[in-house]
Amino acid sequence: MSSTQSFDVCVIGAGPGGYVAAIRAAQLGKKTCVIEREYLGGVCLNVGCIPSKAMISAAHFLEKLRNDAPEMGIEIKTDGKSTAKPVDINVNMKKLVTWKQSVSERMASGVAQLLKGNGVTVIRGEAEFSSANELKVRTSGDGKSDIITVTAKNFVVATGSRPIEIPGFTIDEQKVLSSTGALALDEVPKRMVVIGGGYIGLEIGSYLRKLGSEVVVLEAGATLLNGVADRECVQVVERKLKKGGVQVMFNAKAKSYKKNGSQYEIEYESVGKIEKIKCDKILLTVGRRPNSDQTGLKKIGVLIDERGFIKVDAQRRTNLKHIFAIGDIAGQPMLAHKASHEGVLVAEVISGINRAYDVKTVPAVVFTDPEIASAGLLESECTSRGYTELMISKFPFAANGRAVSLMETDGFIKIIADKKTHVVLGVHMVGPEVSNLISEAALAIEMGARVEDLAFTIHPHPTLGEVMMEAAEATLGHAIHVIQKPLSRAETANGATVTRT
């Protein structure tokens, strides 16, 4: 059975970019549909960002009970006697996964209600362009399969990305897991090998370690989170991983694996030698690739670069002016909040509003322990952009009363500013709840704030946010709650004169 439906705007993919684009287009009076083959809310909401943070929160809560509660005087009784270190707290993995799933389902239900409430037509199925102005959508349900033809004046491609596989390791979600499989385990594996020291592997590896798994990370490079975050921030996380029992092997390239008894044996190359390691599960997290090889894009002439990203202009138009692309498929950074921003942008461009993608920063967060968050430029990037004189300061969470009361004092906030103008160029954080603190930094950079704007803004006490204010004060040489050396400590780094405090 076949039918034809026509729209002003057709969005392909209902992830954090697609569903936002569809809602905004409908708000602006456009007849809009969104086509989704799997989940409303996409990978992020269903098997990525939201469920992983739910599991990370649960693991963090468990660690606080085991380690911090007794020190606070909260005694957890086990067999009628209080214990200094309650080690017998049981983790019901199936129940935990059920709870995690309920969080995702609640959010997905909210997306469905928002789409319905804004009059967006939701079409469940897999779409492929049959021409530049027409899609064929294969739908299924009740044991039937139908083909629907969808035409539209404008199309928005928001089909996201998928995990990268490497030779010898095909993801089957049984032996070799992606993040999707790692978030749906029936039981905590005794030993997990994580291939890849990026943010996904470290986030999942960290929470599994807290739940009781022995975790080994094989990283092909010499550092974790290479190019993702400020090196000094990463060093804090590396120390905490080591303290927590996560074993990290650098310059280790996974080659193959095989069944060995009840476990799997991985062969990896390290410093020219072949080594072996056993585990119960393998987590492959070496990056993600855009889904540009799907949906028939090449067939209709949409230009795609050598990395698989769709080529777009500042309004997120492809070379076919009525077809737009947003989110992971439209280039780095591959982050949900960047996709949502682009979703609003393209809906408004389609509706005649003159907008362009013109942002100074896309903040990034890594939900390790402690968290890492960044906005703006790294020190090396400042130099490449032509800044020759920099002011750089750090203020530690250990000097903050709220952090002390939370028993989470690892880390700091670092501010990088142009010494000539005092304009904030970059802010990099590692510590408790920096995922929430980074928004202030992003706003400061976006509005071109000077260090004085942060230092002279009254921040409420006692809060973690005070560290931002004091880091700004430290940049100016007069932080109150640390003893500072005079601002004469200058050095040459990365081709720039740097004053560090």
- Domain check: are 120 and 215 in the same one? no
- Domain check: are 195 and 329 in the same one? no
Burial status of residue 65 (CB atoms within 10 A of its CB: 0-12, 13-18, 19 or more): middle
- Structural domain containing residue 105: 2-45+101-162+289-350
- The domain spanning residue 451 has which CATH number? 3.30.390.30
Strands 263-270 and 126-131: unpaired
**Whole-angstrom distance, CA of residue 248 vs CA of residue 284:** 15
Residue recorded with tokens 């380690």:
67
Q: Is residue 315 part of a domain?
A: yes
- Domain check: are 157 and 258 in the same one? no
Spatial strand order in the sheet of 389-396: 364-366, 371-376, 424-431, 412-418, 389-396, 496-500, 490-493
Q: Write down the pLDDT at residue 29.
A: 98
8 A C-beta contact, residue 345 and residue 316: yes
Q: Write down the pLDDT at residue 413.
A: 98
Q: Is residue 199 part of a domain?
A: yes
Which residues are marked as active site?
A: 461
- Domain check: are 13 and 128 in the same one? yes
Q: Is residue 79 part of a domain?
A: no
Q: Is residue 378 part of a domain?
A: yes
Among the candidates 271, 286, 301, a domain finishes at 286
Instruction: At 152, list the tokens.
Output: 């539209």
**Whole-angstrom distance, CA of residue 171 vs CA of residue 407:** 39
Which residues of the chain have a pLDDT value below 50?
Answer: 1
- Domain check: are 304 and 406 in the same one? no
Q: Is residue 395 part of a domain?
A: yes
Counting the structural domains of the chain, the total is: 3
- Domain check: are 410 and 476 in the same one? yes
Q: Write down the pLDDT at residue 80.
A: 53
**Whole-angstrom distance, CA of residue 394 vs CA of residue 415:** 7
Q: Write down the pLDDT at residue 142.
A: 66
Q: Write down the pLDDT at residue 339.
A: 98
Q: Write down the pLDDT at residue 121.
A: 97
8 A C-beta contact, residue 8 and residue 32: yes
Q: Write down the pLDDT at residue 494.
A: 65
Among the candidates 255, 286, 317, a domain finishes at 286
> pLDDT tens for residues 487-499?
555 666 666 777 8
> pLDDT tens for residues 318-367?
999 999 999 999 999 999 999 999 999 999 999 999 999 999 999 999 99
The sign of the CA dihedral 234, 239, 243, 248 is positive
- Domain check: are 6 and 143 in the same one? yes
- Domain check: are 377 and 437 in the same one? yes
- Domain check: are 416 and 433 in the same one? yes
pTM, two decimal places: 0.93
- The domain spanning residue 197 has which CATH number? 3.50.50.60
- Domain check: are 379 and 441 in the same one? yes
Backbone angles phi, psi at 313, to 5 degrees: -95, -170
What letters, b where the CB count within 10 A reaches 16 and e where it falls short, cover 124-163?
Answer: ebbbebeeebbbbbebeeeeeeeebebebebbbbbbbbbb
